[in-house]
Structure 1
Amino acid sequence: MLQQIFGAAIAIAVALAACVAYFWGTNWLLDRFLNSDNVTGADVTRRDKLRDSIRPWLFLLPALLFLSVYLVYPVFETLRLSLLDKTGRNFVGFDNYIWALSDGNFQRSVLNNAMWLIVVPSLATAFGLVIAVLADKLWWGNLAKSLVFMPMAISFVGASVIWRFVYDYRGEGDVQIGLLNAIVTGFGLPPQAWITIPFWNSVFLMIILVWIQTGFAMVILSAALRGIPEETLEAARIDGASDIRIFFDIMIPQIMGTIVVVWTTITIVVLKVFDIIFAMTNGQWDTEVLANFMFKWMFVNFDYGRGSAIAVVIMLAVLPIMIWNIRRANAEQGTR
């Protein structure tokens, strides 16, 4: 443990030293080669402008380099591999996509992903909105928000481990350590292997992601609610509107843009969900989703063509939502 901490500390120190050395060194070289000491007149202005135009790119260059290597290049490489065979050497055209569309497991993964898309963003956004409204009315609201947001600090795998204990099943007649089975047996009912029950096991897995993402939705929507003019709410109360009427007719319409952004952001997370499925069921008992299906073909079956084709399908599913989100954000900034 100490060795790992020491290694991490050294890595952080080396990375910081490298950043300082890069930025100091590049700026020093820029100032040295484009200095204005030995020039006069228009050349001084020209060099100053050239130096000022180059300097921002020195700060952007590392980020652009990493984006190109770890984001742009993998996209094109994945597209290329999706048109090749299992070994990634022979061109097969769209055969991998045709196989995917006719494969029963792929179709089941698409249906499961669709169910996740319907349930998780809707519930997480709704719960986040309700908690944001109610917490503002409590004197201990900040504590409540902190507790709700806490799961966001846990990795998906860590959250899955926690919920494995909730759904744990030890067999009928054995002592049940799972919280859900402990409650069930407390009422005299037989314990259940919850994550093996078709359809309902997917619902139980969705609950994990809803538990995690509700905190995110709550924080963003809470900030949006505080931006509603107090005069609007006071006028509604004077007119005799109830709290429920104020909530549905005044609050929600005024923060609808934020609600949609939160919903679409969680939707993107759902389309890429992998960790929870992998840690809980690994796609067994009809819980397969596209990301886990892609992982199996790519890193278990080592079929680079089919695995890449599934990855492209996921990317194409995420891309329209991301573009819409970016355009909406740009439009809102343009109106301010």
Structure 2
Amino acid sequence: MATQQVTTSPRTRRTRSSNYWWALAWIAPALILEITFFLYPLFNTILLSFYNSTSTTFVGLRNYQQVFTNPAFLEVIKNNLLWLVLATILTVGLGLLIAVLVDRVKIESVVKSALFLPMAISFVAAGVIWRFVYKFDPADQPQTGLLNAVVTFFGGQSHAWLQDSTLSNFMLILVYTWMWTGFCMVIISAALKGIPDEILEAAKIDGANRFTLFWRVMVPMIQSTLVVVLTTMIISILKIFDVVYIMTGGNYHTDVVAMEFYNQLFQFNNYGLASALAVLLLITVIPVMYINVRRIREEEALR
């Protein structure tokens, strides 16, 4: 059997070529920005992490070895893990709890507005505000810090909250929790509003109490939202910097990875070690982002 050969006219080829160049012209600005401000800095940072402090001598994995063997850097990693566990549990847990408690009550809008208000404040401003809250004055002087004023009013002793290395990290995590709990609450509350009333009523008819209704009905139905909120918090916490920088500057055993990266780069001019810390942050964030994106795609495929 003879086959018929399909030919393309010169006009069609010119049209396709024109469309190709027009499409390339439209995406060129985005590609240039992506290469200039993302890809080039990314690969350059990875390359610098294998060089010494002045970026003149190749040292291989020595910078990474120092991060995981030096006691000071190990403490930095430990602080980041403390932030990751405690701050994530507090923000997401409290956000979920408050969203359930105030759901469909008369003062719901008031409570949500009050708790979401800290999101309107920058991390720097929040750090300044809470430094005054934690301010410590000598015992023989009036306490101008809010927390110490309350403690001494009820007969307690004033305390240097931020200077106490056993409490300083927890005090900083409390500030972060104050800022981000409202965000978690609003997102989770929106998901709770999407649960059909018929499902809740059917569960109540079947004899489900409030605890069972919460764990067996509400939580499974908003699971995808909880995962998104959880991954958002994890990514944000891994990169925590502002609160630590403003309130303690990394002193009193409160240093974290992002803070140490800043110190190595801008104070000690150690480009190799700073780049290694930046790469480690990137490596820890990528799996969380991948899980989040994969879950979103799976949900879109089911629709």
Query: Same fold per TM (> 0.5)?
Result: yes
> 1:24 aligns to what?
none
Q: Which of 250, 257, 260 is residue 290 of structure 1 equivalent to?
A: 257
Match of 1:88, SS state, is coil
Contact 1:121/1:264, CA 8 A, preserved across alignment: no
Structure 1 residue 59, shift from structure 2 partner: 4.6
Query: In the alignment, does 2:203 pair up with 1:236?
Result: yes
> 1:300 aligns to what?
267
Structure 1 residue 56, shift from structure 2 partner: 5.4
Aligned-partner Cα distance in 2 for 1:214–1:53 = 48
TM-score, length of structure 2 as denominator length: 0.91
Structure 1 residue 112, shift from structure 2 partner: 0.6
Structure 1 residue 268, shift from structure 2 partner: 0.7
Aligned-partner Cα distance in 1 for 2:297–2:101 = 31
Aligned-partner Cα distance in 1 for 2:23–2:121 = 36
Aligned-partner Cα distance in 1 for 2:60–2:270 = 15
Aligned-partner Cα distance in 2 for 1:163–1:127 = 20
Structure 1 residue 47, shift from structure 2 partner: 5.6
> 1:156 aligns to what?
123
Structure 1 stretches of 5 or more lacking a match? 1-40
Structure 2 stretches of 5 or more lacking a match? 1-7
> 1:181 aligns to what?
148
Query: In the alignment, does 2:63 pair up with 1:96?
Result: yes
Aligned-partner Cα distance in 2 for 1:202–1:42 = 71
Letter in 1 for 2:59: V
Structure 1 residue 45, shift from structure 2 partner: 5.6
Matches of residues 101-116 of structure 1 in structure 2 within 5 Å? 101-116=68-83
> 1:249 aligns to what?
216
Matches of residues 27-38 of structure 1 in structure 2 within 5 Å? none
Aligned-partner Cα distance in 2 for 1:42–1:138 = 70
Structure 1 residue 143, shift from structure 2 partner: 2.6
Match of 1:173, SS state, is coil
Structure 1 residue 169, shift from structure 2 partner: 0.9
Runs of 4+ aligned structure 1 residues displaced above 4 Å come to: 41-59
Match of 1:228, SS state, is coil
> Quick one: higher RCO (CA 8 Å, sep 6+), 1 or 2?
2
TM-score, length of structure 1 as denominator length: 0.83
Query: In the alignment, does 2:192 pair up with 1:225?
Result: yes
> 2:47 aligns to what?
80
Query: In the alignment, does 2:132 pair up with 1:165?
Result: yes
Letter in 2 for 1:68: I
Aligned-partner Cα distance in 1 for 2:28–2:172 = 41
Residues 246, 306 of structure 1: alpha-carbon distance in 2 compared, 3 angstrom cutoff = same
> 1:7 aligns to what?
none
Q: Which of 230, 233, 246 is residue 263 of structure 1 equivalent to?
A: 230
**Superposed CA offset, 1:168-224 (max 9, x none):** 112212121211101111012221110111231101100111111112211221121
Match of 2:292, SS state, is helix
Structure 1 residue 101, shift from structure 2 partner: 1.4
Structure 1 residue 85, shift from structure 2 partner: 0.9
User: Percent of aligned positions with the same letter in both sequences?
Assistant: 41
Matches of residues 33-48 of structure 1 in structure 2 within 5 Å? none
Residues 59, 148 of structure 1: alpha-carbon distance in 2 compared, 3 angstrom cutoff = farther
Letter in 1 for 2:190: A
